[in-house]
Chains A and B, each alone.
Chain A
Amino acid sequence: MTTPAGPAVIPSTVIEFHDVSYQVQSGRELISHLSLSVQAGETLVLLGRSGSGKTTSLKLINHLAAPSKGDVRVQGRSTQEWDVIRLRRTIGYVIQEVGLFPHFSVARNIGLVPRIEAWPEEKIRARVGELMQLVSLAPELGERYPRELSGGQRQRVGVARALAADPPILLMDEPFGALDPITRNELQHEFLALQKRLQKTVVFVTHDLREALLLGTRIALMEEGKLVAVLPPGEFVKSNDPLIAAYNEAFQ
């Protein structure tokens, strides 16, 4: 009896930026000539200071922003060609301000995408329970409202909500930025453990070099809308590039 060959394990590109520029109405360029690709299962960290274009780059992926020039491709298809609703439901999105719905209970927040995808109620409930366990939230928190949670708990809900419909891609915009150092550290390590299991394609925005080094499989440094370099953490800390060196020094 022959067993069918498994899928070839070649790194496949999930997200690609092709010479992308993004201008705001005043004509100022927030992103200029960005070319970058993200491989399946990796955590690409976009590192840079405020205003360097990290968040905008993230929004170009789920089409909350449309490129002025160039092309962003997700799973091989341009975001301009995607049905924007389908595209966004293929991508989990976690933002710093969390953006939990204050009028929804925790369970309803987490079950949001499954619900708008019209899953049966029973399956939604099971999935919400599973996710709360995954992100270490006690089941009784399900009935609470976001304002009754701590910052760390809220951020966990944000992550669970983004994972709800099991999207292959996860965009995280400084998800741990507003947390105290201890909670942040906890969540960073939980993220690593989670990512080891789930193998999502993650684009993670931060301005914190330590976080980038800890979480990233590759680090893309951005400065004034331009990509400076993309390096694995080990090479990043050794780089002689003046911008990278400045970053390393600031975090010594």
Chain B
Amino acid sequence: MNVLQYMLQNRVEVLELTGEHLWLVGISTLLAVLVGVPLGILIARRQWLNKPILGTANIVQTIPSLALFGFLLPAPWIGERADRLVILALMLYALLPLIRNTYTGIRGVDPAVVEAARGMGMTENQVLWQVQLPLAASVILAGVRVAVVLSVGVATIAAAIGAGGLGEYIFRGLAMVNNQLILAGAIPAAGLALLADVGLGWVERRISPKTAG
């Protein structure tokens, strides 16, 4: 029996696990955007916060995912359920690309454009929402793309602490020394990562041509 046949036979379970996987990645990415973009804006405005915030996000990124799950386990409310814990961990991993790209995107806006905006009497909020964020949008979206692709991979490890997702197959396959089972988890996970990469890349190109040149 080859992998595709196995997946077809167990399509309900494959879809279910893919759904769980998407949910873990989707919610954590959403939370990371809600936290990371404002932090990126903050460090673009207050340079002295740049090092501490990017440094912290960098350190978080270096913690191995299993260790991070372990660290978060004793946390109240979070530690009570595996999916909460995984979502928090995925969010923390996604923060670095989001903060960094938001910061880079905003700093990369032509200073003459920002100065013209201020000089014409736009308030700081108008400069942010009407000029800086739209012009940084494609760079920020590139950060989202990196974060999503990263999260799809890390989320397979969620199964190690019982949070479900496609990692279930991978861990089951590892335990049973069954390559087909491993592939039944790995192939859809790789597919998700590719799909997210291509899809978000397309959106990115859609919004950037107007600003180019």
Binding site for B on A (CB under 8 A): 62, 64, 85-89, 93, 95, 97-103, 112-113, 116, 145, 147, 161-162, 171
List 11 contacting pairs A-B, 8 Å CB cutoff, sorted by A: A64-B115, A64-B118, A88-B118, A93-B119, A97-B110, A97-B112, A98-B112, A101-B116, A101-B131, A102-B113, A103-B134
**In the complex, which residue of chain B has the Cβ closest to the Cβ of A86?**
B121
Q: Judge if B135 is at the interface, Cβ distance under 8 Å.
A: yes
Residue contact B116 to A99, C-beta cutoff 8 Å: yes
**What residue of chain A has the Cβ atom nearest to residue B135's Cβ?**
A103
Of the candidates B120, B131, B212, B213, which one forms a contact with A93 in the assembled complex, judged by CB atoms under 8 Å apart?
Answer: B120
Query: B56 within 8 Å of A by Cβ?
Result: no
Q: Is B62 an interface residue (CB 8 A)?
A: no
Instruction: Name the A residues within 8 Å of B113 (CB-CB).
Output: 99-102
* Cα A97 to Cα B117 with chains together (Å): 13
1/0 per position for B119-142, CB-CB distance to A under 8 A?
111110010001100110000000
- Report B-chain residues with C-beta under 8 Å of the C-beta of A100: 113, 116
B interface SS class: helix
In contact, A95 and B135 (Cβ under 8 angstroms): no
Q: Please state if A113 and B115 are interface contacts (CB–CB under 8 Å).
A: no
Known contacts A112-B120, A116-B126; 15 further A-B pairs (Cβ under 8 A): A64-B119, A86-B121, A87-B121, A88-B119, A88-B120, A95-B112, A98-B112, A102-B113, A103-B211, A112-B122, A113-B120, A113-B121, A116-B121, A116-B122, A147-B212
Residues of A within 8 A of B212 (CB): 102, 147
Hey, which chain A residues are within 8 Å of B46, CB to CB?
none
| Contacting pair A102 B211 (CB below 8 A) | yes
Residues in chain B near residue A162, CB distance under 8 A: 120
Instruction: For chain B, residues 31 to 85, give those with C-beta under 8 angstroms from any C-beta of chain A.
Output: none
Residues facing A in B97-117 (CB within 8 A) are 110, 112-113, 115-117
Contacts of A64 in B (CB 8 A): 115, 118-119
Query: How many A-B Cβ pairs are below 8 Å?
Result: 64
Contact A85 B123, beta carbon cutoff 8 Å: yes
Q: Which of B177-200 contact A (CB under 8 A)?
A: none
Which 6 pairs between the two chains have the least Cβ-Cβ distance? A99-B116, A88-B121, A97-B112, A89-B121, A93-B119, A147-B213
Task: Enumerate chain A residues within 8 angstroms of B116, measured Cβ to Cβ.
Answer: 93, 95, 98-101
Q: Which residues on the B side are within 8 Å of A86 (C-beta)?
A: 121
B-side interface size class? 20 to 34
- Which residue of chain B has the shortest Cβ distance to A164 in the bound complex? B120
Q: Tell yes or no: B206 within 8 A of A by CB.
A: no
Q: Are A99 and B112 touching (Cβ within 8 A)? A: yes
Q: Which residues of B have CB within 8 Å of A112?
A: 120, 122
Shortest distance in angstroms between A128's beta carbon and chain B's nearest beta carbon?
15
Contact B120 A89 (CB under 8 A): yes
Residue of B nearest to A62 (CB): B119
Q: How far is the CB of A245 from chain B (nearest CB, A)?
A: 35
Neighbouring B residues of A101 by C-beta, 8 Å: 113, 116-117, 130-131
Q: How far is the CB of A58 from chain B (nearest CB, A)?
A: 9
Closest to A85 in B: B121
Q: Assuming the A-B contacts A88-B118, A93-B119, are A102 and B210 also in contact, with contact meaning beta carbons closer than 8 angstroms in the complex?
A: yes
Q: Which of A86, A103, A161 has the most CB of B within 10 A?
A: A103
* B164–chain A nearest beta-carbon distance, Å: 41
- Measured in the bound complex, the distance between the Cα atoms of B210 and A103 in whole Å is 6
Nearest neighbor of B207 in chain A, beta-carbon distance: A103
B124's nearest neighbour on chain A, judged by CB, is: A85
Distance (whole angstroms) from the CB of B144 to the closest CB of chain A: 19
Instruction: Report how far A188 CA is from B130 CA in the complex, Å.
Output: 32
A81 to B2, CA, bound (A): 78
Contacts of A103 in B (CB 8 A): 134-135, 210-211
Chain A nearest CB: distance from B69 CB in Å? 42
A112 to B119, CA, bound (A): 12
Cβ–Cβ < 8 Å partners of B120 in chain A: 88-89, 93, 112-113, 161-162
* Cβ distance A179 to chain B, nearest Cβ, rounded Å: 16
Nearest B-chain residue to A171, judged by Cβ: B119
Task: Write out the residue numbers on chain B whose beta carbons fall within 8 Å of the beta carbon of A98.
Answer: 112, 116
Residues on the B chain within 8 Å of A88, using CB: 118-121
**Residue numbers in A under 8 Å from B213 (CB-CB):** 102, 147
Alpha-carbon separation in the docked complex, A112 to B120 (Å): 9
Instruction: Give the Cβ gap from A112 to chain B, nearest Cβ, in Å.
Output: 6
